[in-house]
C-alpha cells in the first residue's frame, strides 16, 4: 500500500511535468473538446439544468473559450471540482482551465504556480444567518457555529476576522455547497459563510429565501476568475483575451442581437472591426481563426448578457452589477485595448 501510493505520487508528478510542457492549445484542438473545471453545483454559476446541460456564469466562460478555440460552444467537457480537488485537477492536466468561483491570491498565483487570466466577478466574503436569530452584524456572532467550505480562502478569512475581532466560533468544515445547505437549514450551523455571490445563489435555492438574511459586513476581497497552469503562455493568452473579448463587447456595444450584422463586414468602428476579425490579424496572433472572438461572443452573448441571464437582477439570485459594471459606469471592468 505504501509503495503503491509512492509510485502513484511519482507518476502523477512526472505526468504533471509532461503536461505542463506541452501546448494546451494544440491539445485542445487535437482533442476537439475543452475540459473545463467548474463547481459541483452552484445554481447561477455552474450547475446542470433539468436537461442535464450545464448552465451558469462560470459555464458561460467555458463555453466562450470552447467557441473561440473550436468554433463550437458545446464542445466542452465539464468536470465538477470541489474546493479541495480543483487545484490538483488543474495541475495534473485533468482540466485545461478552471472556472470555479476561484479567488485570485498571491500564493495561488506564485506558489501553487497558476496563472489567473483575469477577473470575471469582483466579490467579497459575507455571512448568512436565519432571520429568526435576530443577528444584525457579524460582530455579534460570538460563540456561533459556522459552516465553511474547506480548501477555500473563506476559511482563512474567517479565522482572521474572528481573531481580529476577539470573538470565538466553532468551525464546521464541509466539502461542497450541497453538503452545507442541509446542515445550515437544519440548524447544525448558525451561520453559513462564503463569497457574497455564492451566498446569494445558495439563498435563492432555498424554499423560503426570505427567512434568511445576508449580514452587511463584507470581510474580504475575492476577485474570482478563470485560471490556467503556469508556463503555457499561449494558452493563458487565449483564455485571457476570450474573457476580455466578452467584456470589451459590452463596452463597445456588441450584443448577440447585432453581432451577425456587425461581423458581416468591416464597419466604421475600428475596435469593433478588430475584435470581430473584419480588420487586422488578432486571431492569427493568438493561433486561432479570425472570427474567434465573434464565436466567443455568439456563444452566450457579451459579459452583460451572460451576467443578466444567470445571476442578474431579473433572476432569482438577483445580483446587481455593483463593482462588476464597466469602468464607464463606475465599476471595475476595464479591459486593455484590442489592437
Partner 1 sequence: MTTLSDPPKGGFRVSMLINDTRYRSYTFQFIALIALIAAFAYLGSNLIANLKAAGLNISYRFLGEPAGYDINQRLIEYTSQSTHMRAAVVGMLNTLLVAVVACFFATVIGVIVGVLRLSNNWLVNKLMGVYVEIFRNVPVLIWILIIMAVFVAVLPQPREFRGDDATASMVFGSFAFTGRGFYFPKPVFGPGSLFVVLTFAASLVGIWGYRRYAKQQLFDHGRMVSTLWPSIGLFFVPVIAMFFIMGQPITLDYPALKGFNFQGGIYARNSFIALTFALSIYTAAFIAENVRAGILAISTGQTEAAASLGLRPGRIMNLVILPQALRVIIPPLISQYLNITKNSSLAIAVGYMDVTGTLGGITLNQTGRAIETVLLLMAFYLVISLSISAVMNVYNNSVKLKER
Ligand X SMILES: N[C@@H](CCC(=O)N[C@@H](CS)C(=O)NCC(=O)O)C(=O)O
Beta sheet of 76-80, edge-to-edge order? 76-80, 34-38, 97-98, 227-229, 114-116
Residue closest to ligand X, measured at CB: 198
102 touches which of partner 1, ligand X, none (CB within 5 to 8 A by kind)? ligand X
Contact 155, 148 (CB under 8 A): yes
Under rule CB under 8 A, residue 158 binds partner 1: yes
Under rule CB under 6 A, residue 102 binds ligand X: yes
Q: Where are the alpha helices (DSSP H) in the chain?
A: 2-21, 24-31, 57-70, 86-91, 106-110, 153-164, 177-185, 196-204, 233-252, 259-264, 270-276, 282-286, 292-300, 303-310
Under rule CB under 6 A, residue 101 binds ligand X: yes
Closest distance of CB 46 from ligand X, Å? 8
Contacts of 330 (CB under 8 A, 6+ apart): none
Rounding to the nearest 10 degrees, give the CA dihedral for residues 34, 38, 43, 45: -80
Residues 227-256 that bind partner 1 (CB under 8 A): 230-231
Under rule CB under 6 A, residue 83 binds ligand X: yes
The SS3 call for residue 152 is coil
Residue listed under C-alpha cell 470575471:
120
Contact map string, positions 13 to 52, toward partner 1, x by CB under 8 A: xx-xxx-xx-------------------------------
As given in the structure block, the three cell numbers for residue 96 are: 485545461
Question: Would you give the DSSP letter of residue 227?
Answer: E
193 touches which of ligand X, partner 1, none (CB within 5 to 8 A by kind)? none
116 touches which of ligand X, partner 1, none (CB within 5 to 8 A by kind)? none
Contacts of 307 (CB under 8 A, 6+ apart): 57, 321, 324
Under rule CB under 6 A, residue 242 binds ligand X: no
Only segment of 7-15, 35-43, 268-276, 308-316 that touches partner 1 (CB under 8 A): 7-15
Which residue pairs, CB below 8 angstroms and at least 24 apart, start in 311-316? Answer: 311/44, 311/45, 311/57, 311/197, 311/200, 311/201, 315/44, 315/204, 316/204, 316/205, 316/209
Nearer Cβ to partner 1 (88/320): 88
Closest distance of CB 85 from partner 1, Å? 9
As given in the structure block, the three cell numbers for residue 335 are: 479591459
Under rule CB under 6 A, residue 103 binds ligand X: yes
Nearer Cβ to partner 1 (68/228): 228
Residues 116-135 that bind partner 1 (CB under 8 A): 132-133
Nearer Cβ to partner 1 (1/50): 1
Contact map string, positions 164 to 203, toward partner 1, x by CB under 8 A: -----xxxxxxx------xx--xxx-x-------------
331 touches which of ligand X, partner 1, none (CB within 5 to 8 A by kind)? none
Which residue pairs, CB below 8 angstroms and at least 24 apart, start in 87-90? Answer: 87/112, 87/114, 89/37, 90/37, 90/114, 90/227, 90/228, 90/229
Which residues contact ligand X (rule: CB under 6 A)? 39-42, 82-83, 101-103, 149, 152-154, 176-177, 194-195, 198, 222, 224
Which residues contact partner 1 (rule: CB under 8 A)? 2, 5-7, 9-10, 13-14, 16-18, 20-21, 83-84, 87-88, 107, 111-113, 132-133, 141-145, 150-151, 155-156, 158-160, 162-163, 169-175, 182-183, 186-188, 190, 230-231
Amino acid at each position: 500500500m505504501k509503495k503503491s501510493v509512492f509510485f502513484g505520487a511519482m507518476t502523477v508528478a512526472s505526468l504533471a511535468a509532461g503536461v505542463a510542457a506541452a501546448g494546451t492549445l494544440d491539445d485542445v484542438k487535437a482533442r476537439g473538446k475543452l475540459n473545463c473545471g467548474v463547481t459541483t453545483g452552484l445554481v447561477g454559476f455552474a450547475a446542470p439544468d433539468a436537461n442535464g446541460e450545464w448552465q451558469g456564469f462560470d459555464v458561460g466562460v467555458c463555453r466562450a473559450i470552447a467557441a473561440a478555440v473550436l468554433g463550437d460552444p458545446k464542445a466542452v467537457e465539464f468536470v465538477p471540482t470541489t474546493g479541495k480537488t480543483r487545484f490538483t485537477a488543474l495541475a495534473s492536466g485533468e482540466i485545461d482551465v478552471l472556472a470555479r468561483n476561484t479567488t485570485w491570491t498571491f500564493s495561488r498565483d506564485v506558489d501553487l504556480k497558476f496563472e489567473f487570466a483575469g477577473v470575471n466577478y469582483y466579490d467579497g466574503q459575507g455571512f448568512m444567518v436565519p432571520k429568526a436569530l435576530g443577528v444584525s452584524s457579524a460582530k455579534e456572532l460570538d460563540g456561533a457555529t459556522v459552516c465553511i467550505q474547506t480548501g477555500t480562502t473563506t476559511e482563512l478569512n474567517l479565522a482572521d476576522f474572528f481573531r481580529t475581532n476577539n470573538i470565538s466560533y466553532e468551525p464546521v468544515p464541509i466539502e461542497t455547497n450541497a453538503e452545507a445547505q442541509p446542515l445550515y437549514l437544519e440548524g447544525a450551523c448558525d451561520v453559513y459563510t462564503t463569497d457574497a455571490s455564492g451566498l446569494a445563489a445558495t439563498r435563492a435555492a432555498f424554499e423560503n429565501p426570505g427567512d434568511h438574511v445576508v449580514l452587511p459586513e463584507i470581510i474580504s476581497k475575492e476577485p474570482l476568475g478563470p485560471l490556467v497552469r503556469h508556463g503555457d503562455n499561449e494558452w493563458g493568452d487565449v483564455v485571457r483575451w476570450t474573457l476580455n473579448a466578452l467584456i470589451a463587447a459590452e463596452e463597445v456595444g456588441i450584443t448577440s442581437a447585432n453581432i451577425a450584422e456587425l461581423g458581416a463586414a468591416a464597419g466604421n468602428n475600428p475596435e469593433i472591426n478588430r475584435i470581430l476579425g473584419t480588420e487586422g490579424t488578432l486571431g492569427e496572433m493568438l493561433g486561432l481563426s479570425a472570427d474567434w472572438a465573434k464565436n466567443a461572443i455568439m456563444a452566450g452573448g457579451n459579459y452583460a448578457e451572460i451576467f443578466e441571464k444567470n445571476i442578474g437582477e431579473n433572476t432569482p439570485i438577483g445580483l446587481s452589477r455593483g463593482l462588476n459594471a464597466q469602468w464607464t459606469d463606475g465599476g471595475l471592468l476595464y479591459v486593455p485595448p484590442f489592437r
